[in-house]
């Protein structure tokens, strides 16, 4: 999306280039760029980055995979100046397997902010697998949305969703999933409430979709300052 030939850009991922290539071996994809630095789960971006400040962060279809969205965003805001932007691309659930899932609430985001999981939680995994659908959802604007999940092909049964959740719990294993569900209609109100609470200090500068790419929507978050409320252990000086 942003090329080194066009501007000064650093590519970051949770694994290095070789590992990323292995993960993408089984399907056709765009060229994988060389990763400049690795940001491991459970660490701060500032400790992984080769430079101290960025003007803009672009994250395409990443936020929904992050176990602790608020903590992740605030870690990025730490290396962005006031007025800097986080530009997000997020999947529109009515066009993907998340169709029958509920949007992630403020209460859920706050609970994750308190708990700081570095792996997808059993709640996130079970909800993702038990409600994911393979066919029958809205692929194009002319298609009709299935009225209930039973009309769609399920990728996983409830029993399989439970077994995966048990495996993750027992082995502290990482299982990639859509940890959160966001939508064009609810994203601004959810994040405005987080701003009012002082948990994150930004402005939802834009939240929009494009007719050319209806399967996703876009958000621009502008940093206003440091969060007014710190995570509990930091607030207690621990």
Per-residue pLDDT, averaged over 42-65, amounts to 94
Cα–Cα distance measured from residue 188 to residue 166, given in angstroms and rounded to the nearest whole number: 34
- In this prediction, residue 137 carries a pLDDT of 54
Categorize the per-residue pLDDT at 48 as very low, low, confident or very high, splitting at 50, 70 and 90. Answer: very high
Note the maximum CA span of the chain.
55
Q: What is the mean pLDDT of residues 50-54?
A: 93
pLDDT average, residue stretch 52-72:
96
What integer is the mean pLDDT of 13-34? 84
How confident is the model over 12-25, as a mean pLDDT?
A: 87
Q: Compare 204 and 20 and report the one with higher pLDDT.
A: 204
102: left (phi over 0), alpha (psi -120 to 50) or beta: beta
Q: Please give the average per-residue pLDDT across 39-60, as a whole number.
A: 93
φ, ψ at 108 (rounded to 5°): -65, -40
Domain range annotation of the chain: 1-38, 39-235
Query: What mean pLDDT value characterizes the chain?
Result: 90
Q: Residue 215: which of 67, 76, 64 has the closest Cα?
A: 64
- Give residue 234's pLDDT: 60
**Closest by CA position to 181, among listed 59, 60, 61, 64:** 64
Angstrom distance (rounded) from CA 42 to CA 102: 26
**How much is the pLDDT for 146?**
58
Question: What is the pLDDT confidence band of residue 140, given thresholds at 50, 70 and 90?
Answer: very low
């Amino acid at each position: 999306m942003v090329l080194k030939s066009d501007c000064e850009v650093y590519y970051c991922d949770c694994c290095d280039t070789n590992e990323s290539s292995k993960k993408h071996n089984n399907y056709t994809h765009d060229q994988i760029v060389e990763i400049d630095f690795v940001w491991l789960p459970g660490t701060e971006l500032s400790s992984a980055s080769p430079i101290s400040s960025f003007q803009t962060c672009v994250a395409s279809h990443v936020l929904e995979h992050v176990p602790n969205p608020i903590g992740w965003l605030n870690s990025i805001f730490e290396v962005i100046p006031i007025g800097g932007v986080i530009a997000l691309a997020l999947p529109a659930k009515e066009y993907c397997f998340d169709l029958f899932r509920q949007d992630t609430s403020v209460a859920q985001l706050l609970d994750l902010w308190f708990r700081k999981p570095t792996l997808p939680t059993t709640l996130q995994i079970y909800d993702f697998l038990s409600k994911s659908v393979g066919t029958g959802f809205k692929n194009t604007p002319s298609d009709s949305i299935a009225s209930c999940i039973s009309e769609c092909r399920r990728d996983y049964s409830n029993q399989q969703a439970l077994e995966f959740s048990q495996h993750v719990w027992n082995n502290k294993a990482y299982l990639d999933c859509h940890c959160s569900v966001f939508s064009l209609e609810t994203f601004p109100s959810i994040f405005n409430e987080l701003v009012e609470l002082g948990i994150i200090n930004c402005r939802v500068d834009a939240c929009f979709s494009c007719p050319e790419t209806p399967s996703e929507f876009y958000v621009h978050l502008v940093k206003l300052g440091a969060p007014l409320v710190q995570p509990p252990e930091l607030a207690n000086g621990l």
